[in-house]
Copies of this chain bind each other. A is one copy, B any other.
Amino acid sequence: MNSHVHSYAFGIATLNRKGEIIEVYYPRPEADITGSEAKLLIDLLKSAGALEEGYLRLRNEPNHEEELIHEIKPLLNDQTFTKEKDQILDILESENPILTLQIKDEAPKNIPQAFLKLHLLSHRLVMPNSINLDGLFGVLRNLAWTNKGAIDIEDLPRKQLEARRQGEVLEINSVDKFPKMANYVVPSGVRIADTSRIRLGAHIGKGTTVMHEGFINFNAGTEGTAMIEGRISAGVIIGTNSDLGGSSSTMGTLSGGGTELVSVGKNCLIGANAGIGFPLADGCIVEAGLYVTSGTKINLLDESGTLIRKVKAKEISGLKNYLFRRNSLSGAVECTPIKNAATLNEELHTHN
């Protein structure tokens, strides 16, 4: 039998005071697996009646205490899970071990599934916009992310007072549905100057540097080498060797009224404080301080500077190697062909 599993992971869950799962950390998620491991996992969840839910708490389940762990450990001594064995054993020793399994790429139904999907993105196992994240906001809980881990909002005031009474501080770093990525995984070959600006679910390509002003939402990110000092909205992907200048903006579709899904091609440069609301083709430059939305009317020029025609930005989003600028004397936005694409500073990226 050739079983196939979209993704799975062993993880460690955080529970709230009511014993509900509010968050899961998966040190080593796996995607797109077939064969004996896939079959074994499916059988395991099936036998526990957890296939529908898609996850299994391996300890503390009312009727299964210890049993499941005893069931799983021998399986690990087989020829399965050879690479992850040590990590899985470590996880099984934690207070709240969990096994999550997605057979098909369905919309996340619960927190373990939602967190698995976010992990897949940040572990570079899937690309942004390639998996089903429908209803994600409704599944995730709004939590306080603190120096003592994730805390249910309702439990917060009590814990804050308790800490202060003892002369300590409960440091609340974020109150959000998404934690910061770096506390879950730091993918290879990246620099992230301020980790609080990257949500779990971001996909950061190898060779990417994210400076202090850079931001990457979930289901968004870079393909490979890139310099990110601007904001990558949900759903936006930045091509290899591109540079987002300080506080540059890629218009999102979650809020603010943007409808066009933005992307940035390879070898692009969006200048500091600039922004785009349309897909930018390879080799294009948007000058510092200029915001071009999909409806911005533009004077399209040829190489000699002669007007070809007036266009809307979205009509020319396929044009490669063009410079978008505002003529500083006439005030008109212009688009003009360029010969030399922008290049990244190798010294900043070769040593990541």
A residues apposed to B, CB below 8 Å: 12, 25, 27, 87, 90-91, 93-95, 137-138, 140, 142, 144, 147-149, 153, 156-157, 160-162, 164-165, 167-178, 182-186, 188, 190-197, 199, 212-213, 215, 227, 229, 231, 233, 243, 245-247, 249, 251, 254-257, 269, 271-275, 277, 287-291, 293, 296-299, 310, 326-333, 342, 344-345, 347-348, 351-352
Contacts and interface: CB of A to CB of B under 8 A. Distances in A.
Given A27-B157, A176-B191, A310-B329, A197 B182 contact: no
A348 B255 contact: yes
Contacts of A269: 256-257
Contacts of A182: 144, 172, 175
Nearest to A290: B289
Contact of A326 (B160, B249, B331): B331
A183 B171 contact: yes
A149 B170 CA distance: 9
Contact of A191 (B175, B186, B274, B275): B175
Dominant SS among interface residues on chain A: loop
A194 B174 contact: yes
A273 B247 contact: yes
A348 B233 CA distance: 14
Contacts of A331: 326-327, 330-332
B169 A255 contact: no
Interface centre among A25, A90, A93, A175 (most CB of B within 10 A): A175
Contacts of A326: 328, 331
A351 B183 contact: no
Nearest to A141: B351
A241 to B, nearest CB: 12
A212 to B, nearest CB: 5
A235 to B, nearest CB: 13
Copies in the complex: 3
Nearest to A245: B256
A254 B348 CA distance: 8
Contacts of A215: 212-213
A291 B288 contact: yes
Nearest to A227: B255
Nearest to A295: B328
Contacts of A191: 142, 175-177
Given A172-B182, A251-B272, A90 B161 contact: yes
A164 B256 contact: no
B328 A332 contact: yes
B157 A95 contact: no
Contacts of A347: 137-138
A204 B140 CA distance: 22
Contacts of A27: 157, 160-161, 164
A194 B195 contact: no
B170 A183 contact: yes
Contacts of A137: 347-348, 351
Contacts of A184: 160
A347 B253 CA distance: 12
B197 A93 contact: no
Contacts of A195: 172-175
A287 B297 contact: no
A21 to B, nearest CB: 14
Nearest to A137: B347
